[in-house]
Each structure stands twice: as structure tokens, then as C-alpha cells.
Structure 1
Amino acid sequence: MKIAMTVGSAASVGLAGVLCVVLAASWLMIRRWRAAQRRATAEADRARERSEAQAAQLRAELDRREDRLTEELTRLRTREAELAERAAELDTLRAAARRLESERLRAVELAAGLTVGQARAELVRAAEAEAEREAAVAVREIERRAKAEGEQRAREIIVGSIQRLAGEQTAEAVITSFPLASEDLKGRIIGREGRNIRAFEAVTGVNLIVDDTPGLVQLSCFDPVRRETARLTLEALVADGRIHPARIEEIHERSRAEVERLCVRAGEDALLATGLDTMQPELVRTLGTLRYRTSYGQNVLGHLVESAHIAGMMAAELGVDRGLVARAALLHDIGKAMSHEVAGSHAAVGAEFARRHGESAEVVHAIEAHHGEVEPRTVEAVLTQAADACSAGRPGARRESVESYVRRLERLEEIAGAHAGVSKVFAMQAGREVRVMVQPELVDDLRAQVIAREVAKQVADELTYPGQIRITVVRESRATEFAR
């Protein structure tokens, strides 16, 4: 019992101690909370005081600014009133000035007997009449001086250019003489029963004349390129010594290649002689072929080089681009190398050819306009025309008869070549014979006779010629095999 009471007393004492500890802790927490409350309240009071102080400062600053703006507004209103007064004064002065100007004009009109508009119109008419008279006198004087000086200057430029380039012109013939080392060579050239000479003429299209003239045979053909190719062929055959139909064809092919090379060399020499830049290879080659062609007896390539020099000299005198003018003059007759193959005038053909091969628009226009077929629009075209006329118009430069003869022979070949199945056409014997080579697989013997009759009829209808022209159609079949 006592033990139980003792245990209960001890438990009561322990519980009381725990309660005391809890109460003490709660009291400490309440004190801390109250201290934090007081600090927060004090901090809030201080912040409120600072905000109120800043607000008071801002209100004071705004009041000061408002006072300044009020003063400025007052000054502006005062200034506006002053300006309004001055504007009114100016309006009054302008009205007074207008009244005075009107009174002055009325006084002047009364004194002169004219209104202001009438006086102004009268002055303008007088000034215009005086200006027109002076301008007419000045224009006539300027035209007179310009015409006199222009004609004199043009004569000096043209005459000076021609004198500085005084070259000889030799009209080319249509026959080339070929010297022989011995008379025995004539027999070898003719061959057994004339087979060599027939083969030579059939392959080259050139008439080979073997007569009694000692140590000499002649090559006759209106086409100088063809004649030069035949000359080189005959020269190689005579030097080699082997003259027979197969050898003639072989040497002729070599000679054609050699003529091509010579044409390229001639074109390059023309560029070098005129001091021009390089051209496309096809232009150079075509230009070189003109060394074998003539126009009215004047060598075409020589004419072009001479025209380029004349045009370049005139361009230098006039302050124009010399290179461009000389280039146009050098190429202006390049169409003559193709005009017998392409339809159209040589000016139009040459212009199109130059355009295809990259020449400038100025050069192309000068080419197509050098005969007036197109109106010249540039100074380069006009100078090209002048240079062409100067070179062609010099005494002895050209002969009409040779050109007419060549045109007739070219037309003979064109008439025969227009028929189907014709492979080659050669006008020979100074135009008295036309040999027509046909393709045997396309043309039979009957058709060959028809072609000969049609060509003869067309020639008789279109051309005028002395005597008669023999039309020979050749149809040859060949069989070739190789022994291996």
C-alpha cells in the first residue's frame, strides 16, 4: 500500500515537472513573438515615415515645376499677343503697298498709253524678233564656215590617207603559166591517149592547155583558188615524176590542204599588217581565202588590207577608235568568200558570218551597211564606206571586164549545180565548156542526157555569150578493192 502511494506520489511529481517545462517554453515563445511583433511594428512605422517624407519631397518638386510652367505659359501668351499685333501691322503695310503699286501702274499706263500686259507683249515681240535675226545670221555664218572647213578637212584626210598608202594594183588574169624543165614532160602530162590530162582536168576542174609554146603549159580557170590548187598539184606531180590518174587524185588532196594552210597564213598576215587583235580561226581562214579572189580585177584581200589602213588613218584623224574602224574595214568584203555558195548579197552574207563568229555589233553593222543596203547609223559604218570607196575608186584599181567574165562563169556553174544528182561542176575553156560530174548511183545514162539538155536550155535562156557553150555530163562508175 505504502509502495503504491509512494509510486503515485512520484508520478504526480514527474507530471508536474513536465507541465512546468511546457509552460516555461510556451512563455518564452510568447515573449519572442511579442518582441518580433514590436520590431515589425517599429520597422513598418519607420518605412511609413520614409514614404511620407519622399511623398512630401515629390509634392514640393511638382509644386515648383508647376510654378515654372505657369510662368512659361504666361510668357508664351504674352509673346503670342505681341506676334498677333505685328501680323496685323504687316497686313496693314501689305495692303498699303498694294495700293501704292496699283497707283504707280496706273500712272505708268496713263503715261505710256499701254496696259502692263500690252507693254510686256510688245517687249517680248521685240526681243524675239531681234533674237531670231541674230540667230539666223549666226546660224548661216556657222553653216558656211562648217561646210567650208568640213569639206577642206575631209579632202585633207582622204587625200592624205590615200597618199600615205599608195600601193600598186595588178589585175589578175585567169591563166597561170607553168614552166617545164623539158619538152618531154608535156607527153607525160598528157599521158597515153590523153588519160592523164583528162584525169587532171576532171579532178581539179581546171583546163590544162598544152600547146606548141616551148617549155610552158597553161592552167586556165576563172576560180583563182581552184587554179592555185591545180598549180600546186601539177608542180608536185612534175617534181615527183609519177604522173597517172590515181597519183593525180592523191596529190590534189595534198594541194587542197596546202592551199588551206596558205589561206590561214594569209589571214594571219593581214591581221599583222593592219595591227589588229586576234580573230576566231574560221574568220581568219575565210579572210585568207580572199587572197585568191579578185573583184573587178582587184585582189580582194589586198583591197581589204588597204581599206583597213585608210579607215584607220581617217579614224585617227577624227579621234575615233582606230582599231574598231580598221577591223570593220578589214572584214567588210568577207562575204565575197561565200557569196557564190550562200544566197544573198555579200554584205548581208558577210554580216551574218561575222555575227555568228563573235564580232561586235558595230563591226557587223558596218559590214552590212558598206554598200548602202542598210542605212549607216554609226561613224564606223560611214568610215568603212569611205575607205571602201577610196580603195576601189583609185585609178587603175579595178577592171569591169574581168568581174563580168567571172560572174558569167560562176553563173554557168550555179545553173548546172542546181540539178539533183550533180556532185561537181567545172566551167572550163574560158566558159566555152561546162563539165558536169554526176553521182552514178543517183543518175543513170538517160537522166544524164536530160540534165545536159536542161542545162543547155537554161544557159541559152539566161546568159549572153559569143559562139556556143558545150555541156558535158560525165557519169563514171568505179569499183575499188584492196589485196591483202
Structure 2
Amino acid sequence: MTNNSIMIAIILALIAGGVGYVIGSMLRKKSSEALLANAEDLAAKMIEDAKRQTEVMAMEAAIQAKDAVYQAKEELEKQFEQETRDKKRDLQALEKRLQQKEENLDKKTNLFDQRDTEFLKREQSLAAREQVLSTKEQAQVQKEEQIDQLVTEQRARLEQISGMTSAEAKKVLMDAMEDEAKLDAAKIIKAMEEEARETADKKSKEILALAIQRYAGEYVAERSVSVVTLPSDEMKGRIIGREGRNIRALEAATGIDLIIDDTPEAVILSGFNPVRREVAKLSLQKLIADGRIHPGRIEEVVAKSQEEIDQAMKEAGDQAAFDLGVHGIHPEILKLIGRLKYRTSYSQNVYQHSLEVAFLCGIMAAELGINVKQAKRAGLLHDLGKAVDHEIEGSHAVIGADIAKKYGESPKIVHAIMAHHEDEKPASVLAVLVQAADALSGARPGARREMMETYVKRLDDLERIATSFDGVVNSFAIQAGREIRVMVSSDLVSDDRALLLAKDIAKKIENEMTYPGQIKVNVIRETRATEYAR
């Protein structure tokens, strides 16, 4: 029992005694003397009980304090013994490590002693070798002096015999070696050039063939007329109108001729401007569907159709850029690209042609390892000038390059547009790619539609121009007029003259003929030696 418990018991006892005393006093005053005596006896007994309890609690507290002291002593002894054992174990481990280190140091000392002995032996051996080498060097110097003396004597004898000094003989030898080296270098260069030419030609053909195989474009031949289907022949009269005022209003608003003949349930729209023809076709279809056909309504419908066609052209330009994955093109350029949808060249749709050239450029650029997006961009914009070439004078390549430059295209793209028809000499791989892709797209069978008479006339003109030059024996137009082979007389035309003749024929073809793409001129000169063995 703790000191606090003892104090509480004492206090309780005192309180109880006080309470008893008070009660006794009160009882003495209020009760008889007998009751007062009983109260005093009861208080005395309570005080005795409190004293006995207090003594018992004090004894218990003392016993508990002795137990706590004994337990603390035992714990301290156990902790001391554990620490003693740990320190002893650490000391033993440290002593063991020190012994191992001493053993290692002894081993290292013995190893160093052995090495010192070996180094001394090696030093003695090296000293002996140095003496031997010194002797040999002295002998070598003497031999070199003798050799130099013999060479000098031999050179003097050779100069006397040949009549030339050593410098002159060296010059003659160097000249001969230089000529021989030049000859060998020329042979190597020629072989390398031939190999490079063959490799480049083979590689370029592979790339072009791959581009053609990987892209399959469809072409629908454009025509200069459009046909609008009518619900009945009665509609023809309504289109013509009273005294022809409706048809005149429609022709005046669209700029397209309307041909109404005996063709059942059909009206023909004739005109060379595909945009106007499309506006007229759309307007006529709307008027037929609406049923209200009069000059005021015609002008209103034509104006609305024009707006729809403009919007369609803008959407076509945006779609082309999206399909090719080229971004950042100026909106005005995209409008012109969409306008190419209604433009044809040799009956080939220029919009589809531009998309095809862009795809072909991308395929070939990927094979050559150059920027694919830049190649597609140049291919898409290469015929940009054809959208406005009927409004601006000049070559469509030059017009397109000026437009591209105006709207912030890079110099590489501008140059590729300018050079794709040799208006500017190609000075980059990108420009050559656009040229090749343009030729592939235009020269594919079925890409462009020509009249049979025009085709035959072009072949005749090619052969006529080639045979008009002196020394030409015969000429043959091949590959659908894409190539002309000219056979010349070896007696009248030399090799150098053959090169000039090819350039003259090509220049005359450019000046006198109109044709799509390009025409290759091959001048063939052959010398044959014939003899008979009898």
C-alpha cells in the first residue's frame, strides 16, 4: 500500500472520529446519559478499528516497497550481466580481426621482399642488355655510314652514266608515276560513274514502279457538256418560257448554253467553264424541283447555287489537306485547291491529278528518306496556278509559285512549283520528285483523253521534225509519243554532233508542238565494220 493510501485511511479515521464525537455531543444534549455513554463507546470502537486498519495498511505498503526495490535490483543485475557478456563478445571478435590483420601484414611483407629480389635481378639483367645494345648501336652507326658512302658513290656513277642529275632523274620518275596515276584514276572514275549511273537508273525505276504499284487512282473523263434529266418533256416548254425569256435569263445568269432538242426528257448544258456549267446544272435542277421558273426566280436560284459551289470548293480544299495530312495551308490557297475540282487539263480533272501527284510524291519521298509531308505539300500545290491561269497571264507554274510565295509557303515549296515544268531549273530533290510524279500522273494510260486524230498527228509531227535535220536517216516515235528515237549516219554525224543534234531536235519540238508532259529525244549513232572471209 502506498503512502497516499495510508494518509487517506488516517484522514478517514480522523473524520470518522470527529463525526462520532459530534454525534455523541448531540446525543448527550438531546438524549439521556445512557445513550451518551453508548455513543462514546461506539466512537471509541471506531477509532480503534481505524487505528488497526492504518497499521495494517502501513505494513502492506512497506512490504510492497521492499518488493519493488528487490525487483529493480534484480533487473539491474541482469542488464549489467548482459552488457558484460556483449562487451566480452565484441572484444573477442576485435581480437580475432587484429590477429587476421597481423597475419595478412606478414604475408604482404614477405611478398614485397620477394618482389624486391626480383626487381634487383631484372635491373641487373637490363644493365647487361643495355651494354649489349650500346655495342650493337655503335656497329649499326658504322654500317649506316658505310652504306651512305656507297650510295653516294653509286649515285655519282649513275649520274655519270645517265648524263642526268639525281633531281632530274627524280623529276622524270615522278612525271611518269603521275601520268600513270592519272590514267588509273580516270579509269576508276569512269567505272564509278558508270556504276553510279546504272545504280541510280535502276533505283529510280524501282522507286517509280513502286509508286505506280502502290497508288491506284481512278479517272473519269470530263466533258464539255452536262445533261440534266427532266421529269417529263412538258418541262422543256416551261424552261424555254414565253418567247424564250426563261432560257435567255438562265443563259445570261450562268454563261452556259442550254440545248433543248428532241432528246427525250433531257436538257444539255454546253460550256467550257466547268464551274459555270456546274452552277447552271445545280440551278436548273433546283428550278425543276421547285416548279417556279421565271427570270426573277432564276437569278435568285443561280446566286444561291453559286454560293453553294463556292462552299463546296472550300470544303474540297479542306478535305484534300486532311486526306494528305498536310496542315497550316493558308485558307485562300485551300479555296483555290478546291476550285481545281472543276478544272480539267487534257480532259483530266486537275483536283484529282493534284491529289495523285501528292500521294506519288509522298511514296517516293518515303523511299528516298526525305520529308514526306513536305513532298505531299509540294505535290498538292504544284498546279495551283491552273485555278486562276484564265484570269492571269503567264505559265501556270509561275502563277502558282507567285501565289504560294504570297501566302507564306516555304522557298522549297515555291521552287518545286516553279520548276515542275522547267520554268526554273530544278535545284532540289523535292523539285525533281514533283516533276516525276506529275509526269507519272499525266502519262498513265487512261489518265488523259485524246482524240485519235490528235494522237496520230502528234506522232507524225514528231517524226517530221526529227527527219528535217541533216544527217538523220530515220526516226521512230514510241511510247505513245513520249519518246522519239532518231537514227543518224555515222559518216555525217560525229559523237559530239549527236549531242548537239538531240538538243536542237528537242528545242524545235518545244517551239512547234503542244503536248502534255515531256518527250525524250534519243539520237542513235552506230558504226558498223563489215568484212567477208573467203
The TM-score range, normalised by the shorter chain, is 0.5 to 0.7
Displacement of 1:280 in angstroms is 0.5
Amino acid at match of 2:303: E
Q: What secondary structure, in the 3-state scheme, does the structure 1 residue paired with 2:278 have?
A: helix
* Partner AA of 1:107 in structure 2: E
Distance 2:154 2:166 in 1: 9
**Does 2:323 correspond to 1:273?**
yes
1:296, 1:401 within 8 Å by CA — same for their partners in 2?
A: no
Q: Does 1:342 align with 2:392?
A: yes
What does residue 288 of structure 1 align with? 338
1:309 is displaced (CA, Å) by 1.0
Partner of 2:156: 110
What is the letter of the counterpart of residue 221 of structure 1?
G
* Cα-to-partner distance string for 1:98-141 (whole Å, 9 max, x where unaligned): x9999777435214325331233234223313322321221122
What SS class does the counterpart of residue 228 from structure 2 fall into? strand
Measured on the aligned residues, the alpha-carbon RMSD in Å equals 2.2
259, 277, 301: which one aligns with 1:251: 301
Structural mapping, 1:200-279, within 5 Å: 200-279=250-329
Count of residue pairs brought into register by the alignment = 305
Distance 1:195 1:134, change over 3 A: same
Gaps of 5+ in 1: 1-98, 405-484
Percentage of identical aligned residues:
48
1:122 maps to which residue?
Answer: 172
- Structure 1 distance, partners of 2:250, 2:176, is 90
Comparing 275-284 and 289-298, the one that deviates more: 275-284
TM-score when normalising by structure 1: 0.60
What per-residue deviation string (whole Å, max 9, x for no partner) do you get for residues 395-453 of structure 1?
A: 22113459x9xxxxxxxxxxxxxxxxxxxxxxxxxxxxxxxxxxxxxxxxxxxxxxxxx
Structure 2 distance, partners of 1:107, 1:284, is 89
Distance 2:198 2:410 in 1: 35
C-alpha contact (below 8 Å) 1:271/1:278 kept by paired residues: no
Matched, 1:320 2:370: yes
SS in 1 for 2:155: helix
In structure 2, the residue matched to 1:437 is none
Letter in 2 for 1:367: I
Deviations 1:41-60 (A, max 9, x none): xxxxxxxxxxxxxxxxxxxx
State how far apart, in whole Å, the 2-side matches of 1:346 and 1:400 are.
21
Larger radius of gyration between Structure 1 and Structure 2 = 2
What's the offset of the Cα at 1:378?
1.1
CA separation in 1, counterparts of 2:150 and 2:322? 83
Superposed displacement of residue 302, structure 1: 0.7
Matched, 1:377 2:439: no
Give the number of the structure with larger relative contact order, counting CA–CA contacts within 8 Å between residues 6 or more apart.
1
After TM superposition, the score normalised by the length of structure 2 is 0.55
Distance 1:128 1:334 in 2: 56
Inter-partner Cα distance in structure 2 for 1:107 and 1:301: 88
Secondary structure in 2 matching 1:277: coil
Task: Name the CA distance, whole Å, in 2 between partners of 1:400 and 1:214.
Answer: 29
Question: Separation in 1 of the partners of 2:380 and 2:400?
Answer: 12
Does residue 154 in structure 1 map to residue 200 in structure 2? no
State the one-letter code of the partner of 2:279: T
**Aligned equivalent of 1:356:** 406
Distance of 2:311 and 2:260 partners within structure 1 = 29
Query: Structure 1 CA distance, aligned partners of 2:171 and 2:151?
Result: 16
